[in-house]
């Protein structure tokens, strides 16, 4: 179970970096790391339930699951807690959940089922697929959580491609999206526009939004080949980097473990993707193939975006680095997704016997 | 079918290759960043040519309702330096000499530990000395031995022109503590920042705070600025205009003299607080500038508790000021009518005990209006017994007795409404009728804060609007409309008018404005009785309510009543709408 091992290697790295990012021993770093550890434990419950039930069982329930997620996304808009201008948190007792994270799984389930039932090789199938996915993406955009919306869109895009959309449709979709950009620009909030502008030119930034990016770049760069060593990063300590345990966790890691460490981390991600696609190819269930490609799209998009952002070569969107960043909901969602993929892997092994 | 699956597999392989290519691109980018170090900022940082500087946020200022300043920012200067330069040129002894020469004694060890506390990175500026006046700053800078690598920045320091008169309203700011830094998380506070520690400064911290500024600059090999790479100027927080009238506040302070206690006044139609005063007071100016441990201990352990805001945190028995509520409850629950009379012979025997009236010769036959006027204890003992403790507690609850009022200040006390359930839980003892007798005249287990009493009387004055008291006005004042019988309410209000016209509170009516209200003298187990008066004015068309408690003031009628009278007269005569009408 190389998939499982690489996922847990990433989570373990995450715990170490979260600890360091929070300031090391006797600070909130240990509290964050402990919380994340508890979340990992909690996430194992659904993980094993899913392994027991099997992928196809959940596939049967996919419409219901999707409906529940959409309801949660509406609830969070109406009564959720607002954090940093986005209404994306739902409090259930001591737990704070981000429905948009669970929404990613439900979207992957429902869309892979739908696209295999009604293949997008005709125009109506293609538009039907878009129509199924649209409400989820739209509700997340309303929060407004631009980063997650981009993840949703990217997942839909990958699903359409793998499920056999003719290239002329995808081409048109891309052209349309590009055409929409100037219109979308007007809908962006001031700070979002600023982030994008800062990305285009971080040095000239009258309002200081580039400040974080510059600090993050220095953190990554000062790591050098070998890194400064565990707990030795200066940039990340004492609020020097904004949110070092979530959005900018890679900067902390890169500073402390250097180029060697970052290549190692990326190699684990590479291994993870290879295993996912290999399970997808071995699977007989067409829906599983599309599902896995979507989950891979989700993890890949966030990984590239989060790492690119900390080097200042991609705009700041506030997406967590999968497995590594502090955050219960995001960890829970990803472990569930890994559980589903493992279940696909197990069932195809059984069939070959 | 097989065909479709094969086409999907082909696409999956392409997708995998694409993903791996993406990761590889990241590796290449990281190679450039971490090994070749092509990034400009990384290069500047590694060559020690990058400097970062933070400008603390500028706090919003606070004014009273007439625009009189209550909290202002004084322009002062901090002398800053970079740990990198200080270490490289061994500047600490020089700095210590210069500062000591200019009357700021600081040993190299002090400086070193101060720098240590603020240290983040060698190229991030730290404060060497703070809060210098312009003269101090120029004197130090023009000293020939002053190290050129240090530089001043302009900052602000909080000052409170009204000092102890308004310190319980405003609170004060001080340097953020380690615990606050941790609990505030990623909200942008840095060590050395100022944060509201009490009062309005604490309550409206998020509005007042403002935003910090930052500058990243490039310097040459000798530490001189070449250019600014990014710059963000600090932003000022929001100015606050309070509902408080400093003139009235000042008047109360004069009237109090050396008394301890509290005074509060409210606009009965909006819930806006006009006066909130607690004595003894403390000067909040030195707290904002930083006090030593011993000075702080003096304030905290002073047995007169000057830091305590008695207006919202002090709990007292309401004593006779509670009687109008008992009367209203008795009328509303139909335990009595306007014509029910009880005979007061100075004593009341009940359950084998003798309860006395304050007037030992007795009041004769009393009805509700005259009983309020005379503050007859015997009448209310019996009215309370007929109403029953549960109904009294119910009416107390309606008027917010024993509950926080929700005023926009931290540290409000709840008081205690008591009652059967409370006594059972607290003492595992049942409620006796005798307890009800004491309760009916506002004694016993009943405890209230001055702001609660004020709000209750304001609701009597305005026809049952129980306001959320505010120090910062809002467009839509919040209140709960109580369902009161107008006829019963008028009986109680007539009683309150008579108190000042010809009853126990005549001294409140000597200031040219018609006042209605009630005196109170609360038993104090620790010493002399507390004196209370709560009332409103003008008596027929109330505009303002006020409550005063004087600790160990002995008699509400002679000590507290005139203060309320003079305060209400001030408020009413300074009211624009009122003076236009008359």
pLDDT in tens, B371-424: 999 999 999 999 999 999 999 999 999 999 999 999 999 999 999 999 999 999
Question: Looking at the partner chain, which of A211, A292, A307 has a beta carbon nearest the beta carbon of B230?
Answer: A211
In a domain, B165, yes or no: no
Each as own residue / partner, the long-range contacts of residues B352-358 (CB below 8 Å, 24 or more positions apart, any chain) are B353/B434, B355/B381, B355/B437, B355/B438, B358/B521
The pLDDT value given to residue B28: 93
Check residue B123 and report its DSSP letter: T
Cα torsion through A134, A139, A141, A145, rounded to 10:
-130
Q: Which residue has the higher pLDDT, B479 or B5?
A: B479
Q: Kindly state whether residues B237 and B328 are assigned to the same domain.
A: no
Q: Which two tokens stand for residue B97?
A: 């000499």
Best probe of the A interface among B4, B19, B45, B50, by most A CBs < 10 A, is B19
In a domain, B164, yes or no: no
Nearest CA distance, B79 vs chain A (angstrom) = 21
In a domain, B21, yes or no: no
Q: Which residues of A touch B121 (CB under 8 A)?
A: 234-235, 240
In a domain, B470, yes or no: yes
DSSP string, B45-61: HHTT-EEEEEEPPBPPP
Taking an 8 Å cut-off on Cβ atoms, the answer to whether A161 and B37 are in contact is no
* B21 at A interface, C-beta within 8 A: no
d(CA B405, CA B328): 21
Question: Looking at the partner chain, which of B16, B35, B230 has a beta carbon nearest the beta carbon of A259?
Answer: B35
d(CA A254, CA B32): 13
Q: Kindly state whether residues B281 and B237 are assigned to the same domain.
A: no
Tell me the backbone φ, ψ of residue B40, rounded to 5 degrees: -60, -45
The pLDDT value given to residue A238: 43
Closest CA to A105 of A169, A160, A71, A59: A59
In terms of CA atoms, which chain A residue is nearest residue B13?
A: A277
d(CA B521, CA B505): 12
Is there a cis peptide before residue B280, judged by omega within 30 degrees of 0?
Answer: yes
Q: Kindly state whether residues B194 and B280 are assigned to the same domain.
A: no
The full 3-state SS of B130-189, as one line of letters, equals EEECHHHHHHHHCCCCCCCCCEEEEEEEEECCCHHHCHHHHCCEEECCHHHHHHHCCCCC
Closest CA to A330 of A305, A296, A299, A307: A299
Which contiguous run of DSSP H or E holds residue B280?
none
In a domain, B28, yes or no: no
Best probe of the A interface among B16, B34, B54, by most A CBs < 10 A, is B34
For residue B215, the enclosing domain spans 51-57+74-159+172-241
pLDDT in tens, B32-72: 888 887 777 777 777 778 888 888 899 999 999 999 999 99
Nearest CA distance, B88 vs chain A (angstrom) = 19
Judge contact between B417 and B394, C-beta under 8 A: no
Taking an 8 Å cut-off on Cβ atoms, the answer to whether B34 and A220 are in contact is yes
Domain boundary among B241, B256, B274: B241
The pLDDT value given to residue B410: 94
How do strand B364-366 and strand B342-344 relate by DSSP bridges? antiparallel
Does the pLDDT of residue B164 top 60, yes or no? yes
Taking an 8 Å cut-off on Cβ atoms, the answer to whether B30 and A262 are in contact is yes
ipTM: 0.91
pLDDT average, residue stretch B475-485: 90
Q: Is the alpha carbon torsion for B461, B462, B465, B470 positive or negative? A: negative
In chain B, how many domains are there? 2
In terms of CA atoms, which chain A residue is nearest residue B216?
A: A211
Q: Kindly state whether residues B227 and B83 are assigned to the same domain.
A: yes
Nearest CA distance, B347 vs chain A (angstrom) = 57
CATH number at B539 reads 3.40.710.10
The pLDDT value given to residue A242: 55
Taking an 8 Å cut-off on Cβ atoms, the answer to whether B29 and A235 are in contact is no
Domain limits, chain A: 2-352
* B115 at A interface, C-beta within 8 A: no
In a domain, B4, yes or no: no
Q: Which two tokens stand for residue B195?
A: 């944060």
* Local confidence pLDDT in tens for the 353 residues of chain A: 789 899 999 999 999 988 888 765 666 678 888 889 999 999 999 999 999 888 888 898 999 999 999 999 998 888 766 655 566 677 766 677 888 999 999 999 999 999 988 888 888 888 998 999 999 999 998 887 888 999 999 999 999 999 888 888 888 888 988 888 788 777 776 666 766 666 666 554 444 456 677 778 888 888 888 888 887 776 545 444 556 777 888 988 998 999 999 999 999 999 999 999 999 999 988 999 999 999 999 999 999 999 998 888 888 787 899 999 998 899 999 999 999 999 998 887 765 54
pLDDT in tens, B77-106: 999 998 888 888 888 889 999 888 888 888
Burial A72-103 (b: 16+ CB within 10 A, else e): bbeebeeebeeeeebbbbbeeeeebbbbbbbb
Residues 149-208 of B with CB under 8 A from A: 182, 185-186, 189-191
Nearest CA distance, B54 vs chain A (angstrom) = 11
Q: Kindly state whether residues B268 and B232 are assigned to the same domain.
A: no
Q: Which residues of A touch B191 (CB under 8 A)?
A: 238
Q: Kindly state whether residues B515 and B541 are assigned to the same domain.
A: yes
d(CA A15, CA B263): 55
Taking an 8 Å cut-off on Cβ atoms, the answer to whether A221 and B19 are in contact is no
Cα torsion through B222, B227, B231, B233, rounded to 10:
80
d(CA B273, CA B405): 12
Q: Count interface pairs A-B at CB distance under 8 A.
A: 148
Nearest CA distance, B82 vs chain A (angstrom) = 15
pLDDT in tens, B187-242: 678 777 889 999 999 999 999 999 888 888 888 877 788 888 777 788 899 999 99
In a domain, B553, yes or no: yes
In a domain, B511, yes or no: yes
**CA distance between the termini of chain B:** 95
Active site residues of B: 320
Domain boundary among B241, B259, B275: B241
The pLDDT value given to residue A136: 93
Task: Work out the percent of chain B whose per-residue pLDDT is above 70.
Answer: 98
**Residue partners of A165: CB distance under 8 A and separation at least 6:** A120, A121, A126
d(CA B200, CA B326): 35
Tell me the backbone φ, ψ of residue B121, rounded to 5 degrees: -150, 155
Residues counted in chain A: 353
**Residue partners of B545: CB distance under 8 A and separation at least 6:** B265, B266, B268, B454, B457, B458, B461, B534, B535, B536
Check residue B542 and report its DSSP letter: -
Closest CA to B237 of B193, B277, B181: B193
Does the pLDDT of residue B186 top 60, yes or no? no
Q: Which residues of A touch B2 (CB under 8 A)?
A: none
Question: Looking at the partner chain, which of A217, A225, A303 has a beta carbon nearest the beta carbon of B39?
Answer: A217
Q: Kindly state whether residues B448 and B503 are assigned to the same domain.
A: yes
CA atoms within 13 A on the CB side of B176: 22
Average per-residue pLDDT for chain B: 89
Residues counted in chain B: 582
Judge contact between B273 and B408, C-beta under 8 A: no
Taking an 8 Å cut-off on Cβ atoms, the answer to whether A222 and B120 are in contact is no
Which contiguous run of DSSP H or E holds residue A234?
none
Q: Kindly state whether residues B232 and B253 are assigned to the same domain.
A: no
pLDDT in tens, B105-118: 888 888 888 888 77
pLDDT average, residue stretch B552-566: 88
Nearest CA distance, B85 vs chain A (angstrom) = 18
In terms of CA atoms, which chain B residue is nearest residue A313?
A: B29
Judge contact between B418 and B389, C-beta under 8 A: no
* B17 at A interface, C-beta within 8 A: no
d(CA A16, CA A203): 32
Q: Kindly state whether residues B480 and B428 are assigned to the same domain.
A: yes
């Amino acid at each position: 179970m190389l998939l499982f091992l690489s996922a847990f290697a990433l989570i373990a790295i995450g715990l170490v970096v979260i600890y360091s990012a929070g300031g090391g021993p006797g600070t909130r770093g240990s509290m964050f790391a402990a919380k994340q550890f508890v979340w990992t434990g909690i996430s194992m419950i659904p993980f094993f339930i899913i392994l027991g039930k099997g992928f196809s069982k959940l596939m049967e329930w996919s419409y219901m699951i999707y409906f529940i997620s959409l309801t949660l996304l509406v609830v969070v808009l109406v009564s959720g807690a607002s954090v940093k201008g986005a209404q994306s948190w739902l409090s259930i007792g001591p737990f704070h959940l981000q429905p948009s994270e669970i929404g990613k799984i439900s979207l992957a389930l429902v869309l892979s089922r739908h696209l295999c039932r009604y293949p997008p090789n005709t125009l109506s199938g293609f538009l039907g697929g878009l129509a199924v996915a649209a409400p989820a993406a739209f509700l997340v955009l309303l929060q407004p959580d631009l980063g997650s919306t981009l993840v949703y869109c990217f997942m839909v895009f990958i699903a359409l491609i793998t499920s056999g959309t003719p290239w002329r449709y995808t081409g048109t979709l891309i052209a349309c999206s590009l055409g929409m950009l100037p219109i979308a620009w007007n809908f962006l909030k001031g700070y979002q526009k600023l982030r994008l502008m800062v990305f285009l030119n971080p040095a000239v930034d009258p309002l200081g939004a580039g400040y974080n990016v510059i600090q993050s770049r220095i953190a990554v760069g000062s790591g050098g080949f070998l890194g400064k060593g565990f707990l030795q990063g200066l940039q990340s300590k004492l609020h020097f980097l904004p949110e070092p345990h979530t959005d900018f966790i890679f900067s902390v890691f890169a500073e402390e473990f250097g180029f060697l460490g970052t290549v190692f981390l990326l190699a684990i991600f590479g291994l993870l993707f290879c295993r996912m696609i290999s399970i997808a190819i071995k699977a007989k269930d067409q829906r599983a193939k599309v599902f896995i490609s979507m989950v891979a799209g989700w993890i890949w998009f966030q990984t590239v975006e989060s790492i690119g952002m900390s080097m200042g070569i991609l705009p700041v969107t506030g997406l967590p680095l999968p497995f590594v960043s502090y955050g219960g909901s995001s960890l829970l969602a990803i472990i569930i997704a890994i559980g589903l993929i493992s279940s696909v892997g197990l069932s195809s092994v059984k069939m070959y016997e | 079918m097989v065909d479709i699956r094969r086409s999907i597999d082909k696409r999956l392989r392409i997708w995998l290759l694409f993903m791996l290519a993406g990761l590889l691109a990241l590796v290449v980018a990281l190679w450039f960043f971490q090994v070749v170090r092509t990034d400009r900022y990384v290069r500047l940082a590694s060559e020690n040519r990058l400097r970062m500087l933070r400008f603390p946020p500028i706090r919003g200022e606070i004014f009273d309702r007439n625009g009189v300043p209550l909290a202002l920012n004084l322009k002062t200067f901090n002398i800053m330096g970079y740990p990198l330069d200080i270490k490289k040129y061994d500047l600490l002894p020089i700095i210590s000499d210069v500062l000591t020469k200019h009357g700021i004694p600081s040993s190299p060890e002090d400086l070193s530990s101060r720098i240590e506390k603020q240290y983040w990175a060698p190229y991030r500026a730290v404060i060497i000395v703070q809060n210098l006046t312009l003269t101090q700053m120029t004197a130090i800078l023009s000293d020939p031995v002053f190290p050129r690598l240090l530089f001043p920045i302009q900052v602000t320091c909080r000052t409170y022109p009204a000092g102890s008169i308004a310190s319980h309203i405003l609170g004060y700011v001080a340097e953020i503590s380690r615990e606050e830094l941790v609990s505030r998380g990623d909200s942008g506070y840095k060590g050395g920042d100022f944060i509201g520690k009490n009062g309005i400064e604490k309550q409206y911290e998020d509005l007042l705070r403002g935003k910090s500024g930052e500058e990243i600059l490039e310097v040459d090999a000798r530490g001189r600025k070449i250019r600014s790479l990014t710059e963000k100027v600090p932003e000022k927080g929001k100015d606050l205009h309070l509902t408080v009238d400093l003139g009235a506040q000042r008047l109360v302070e004069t009237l109090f003299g050396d008394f301890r206690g509290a005074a509060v006044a409210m606009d009965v139609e909006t819930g806006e607080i006009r006066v909130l005063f607690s004595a003894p007071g403390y000067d909040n100016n030195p707290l904002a500038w930083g006090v030593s441990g011993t000075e702080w201990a003096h304030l905290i352990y002073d047995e007169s508790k000057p830091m305590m805001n008695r207006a919202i945190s002090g709990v007292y028995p309401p004593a006779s000021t509670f009687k109008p509520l008992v009367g209203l409850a008795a009328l509303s629950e139909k335990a009595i009518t306007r014509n029910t009379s009880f005979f007061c012979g100075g004593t009341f025997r009940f359950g084998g005990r003798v309860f006395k009236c304050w007037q030992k010769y007795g009041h004769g036959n009393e009805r509700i209006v005259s009983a309020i006027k005379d503050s007859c204890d015997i009448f209310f003992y019996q009215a309370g017994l007929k109403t029953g403790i549960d109904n009294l507690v119910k009416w107390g609850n309606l008027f917010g007795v024993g509950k926080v009022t929700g005023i926009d200040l931290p540290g409000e006390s709840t008081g205690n409404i008591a009652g059967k359930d409370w006594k059972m839980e607290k003492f595992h003892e049942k409620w006796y009728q005798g307890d009800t007798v004491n309760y009916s005249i506002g004694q016993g287990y009943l405890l209230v804060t001055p702001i609660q009493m004020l709000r209750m009387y304001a609701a009597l004055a305005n026809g049952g609007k129980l306001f959320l008291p505010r120090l910062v006005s809002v467009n839509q004042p919040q209140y709960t409309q109580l369902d009161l019988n107008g006829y019963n309410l008028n009986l109680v209000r007539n009683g309150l008018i008579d108190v000042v016209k010809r009853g126990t509170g005549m001294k409140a009516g000597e200031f040219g404005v018609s006042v209605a209200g009630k005196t109170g003298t609360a038993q104090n187990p620790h010493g002399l009785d507390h004196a209370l008066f709560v009332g409103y004015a003008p008596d027929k068309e109330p505009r303002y309510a006020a409550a005063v408690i004087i600790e160990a003031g002995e008699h509400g009628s002679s000590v507290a009543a005139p203060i309320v009278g003079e305060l209400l007269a001030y408020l009413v005569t300074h009211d624009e709408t009122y003076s236009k009408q008359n």
